[in-house]
Structure 1
Amino acid sequence: MNKLKKIASGLFIFIFAVSLQMSAAGKEEAKGINFHQGTWNEALELAKKENKLIFLDISASWCPPCKMLKANTFTNAEVGSLYNNRFINVALDGEKGEGISLARDYQVTAYPTLLFINGDGKVVKKSMGYHTPEQFLDLGQSVK
């Protein structure tokens, strides 16, 4: 019986440690950009309501610079802090769903295309290609 208690106690400690690790990993992910999960029209309405611009990332699943941007830049804590405070962030695949019509409407010719759009749907600033976190911070700060 004593041996069973030791095993159960060890198992409990192991499960607790794993859950703490998973919780910490979740917090790390939350440091980057939080992307709006609703429709494009909902993002436009939210931008008007909160008096913010929309940051729109139009990418493609096969695009290497898009993957690098998502892995290295959008997950950066400083980038997340700036973009989450200043913008309604939207990420769409230009070859799927709403992304197809938006890519056409905003004349996307390369991936990734990074657009800053007001609540009326007008482009304020446009940039293309991979940006390091530092370059992306400068881009976000340059948008008025």
Structure 2
Amino acid sequence: MPKKILIAGALFLLLIAGLVASQFILGRHAVASTGLHHHSLEEAYREAAAESKYVLADVSAIWCPNCRALNKEVYAEDRIRQRLNNDFVYTRIEFGSVEGKRFREHFDIQAPPALLLLDAKGNLMHTLPISYEPIEFLENLDVASAP
């Protein structure tokens, strides 16, 4: 009996490991499909200062299904990609990274995805609502970035 339990447990762990691996693969593919230029947070601040732009900080997790939906349904749209690349400095901050932990603690972010509009000094200008509809996303971006 204990041998069967060990085998069942090992199979269960293999199944879980496979599911986790597939989430990471799907997440990486979704990020790559956006065509957005990714900056580190520090690079984003420097570029935003040099170009008088806001930083759009996307706090995401590679394993997060909602983050994948944002990448595939919103960021992958040509008009959104163009708007973000032309008018903002986009940075993707991995939720579980050391940088992500510091960023989350500073801005009190509890879960991904989270979208923050920051000035070039890292001051919070606006927290954008999460929308998976491209037109609504653009409208939210317009409201957030209005002078």
Q: TM-score, normalised by structure 2?
A: 0.70
Unaligned runs of 5+ in 2: 1-32
% same residue: 24
Unaligned runs of 5+ in 1: 1-28
Contact preservation (8 Å) 1:33, 1:89: no
Partner of 2:38: 36
Partner of 1:51: 52
Partner of 1:93: 94
Q: What is the Cα deviation at residue 108 of structure 1?
A: 0.6
Partner of 2:118: 117
Contact preservation (8 Å) 2:41, 2:93: no
Q: How many residue pairs get matched?
A: 113
Taking the aligned partners of 1:56 and 1:137, their CA distance within structure 2 comes to: 15
Taking the aligned partners of 1:130 and 1:97, their CA distance within structure 2 comes to: 27
Taking the aligned partners of 1:138 and 1:76, their CA distance within structure 2 comes to: 14
Q: What is the Cα deviation at residue 66 of structure 1?
A: 0.7
Contact preservation (8 Å) 2:67, 2:112: yes
Taking the aligned partners of 1:88 and 1:43, their CA distance within structure 2 comes to: 6
Partner of 1:18: none
Contact preservation (8 Å) 1:66, 1:130: no
Contact preservation (8 Å) 1:58, 1:93: yes
Contact preservation (8 Å) 1:66, 1:112: yes
Q: What is the Cα deviation at residue 80 of structure 1?
A: 1.1
Taking the aligned partners of 1:107 and 1:131, their CA distance within structure 2 comes to: 23
Q: Cα RMSD (Å) of the superposition?
A: 1.7
Q: TM-score, normalised by structure 1?
A: 0.71
Partner of 1:60: 61
Partner of 1:138: 139
What secondary structure sits across from 1:95 in the alignment? coil
Q: What is the Cα deviation at residue 127 of structure 1?
A: 2.5
Q: Larger Rg: 1 or 2?
A: 1
What secondary structure sits across from 1:54 in the alignment? strand
Taking the aligned partners of 1:78 and 1:55, their CA distance within structure 2 comes to: 16
Q: What is the Cα deviation at residue 97 of structure 1?
A: 3.5
Give the letter for the 2:78 counterpart: A
What secondary structure sits across from 1:90 in the alignment? strand
Q: What is the Cα deviation at residue 40 of structure 1?
A: 1.6
Q: Residues 5-24 of structure 1: matches in 2 within 5 Å? A: none
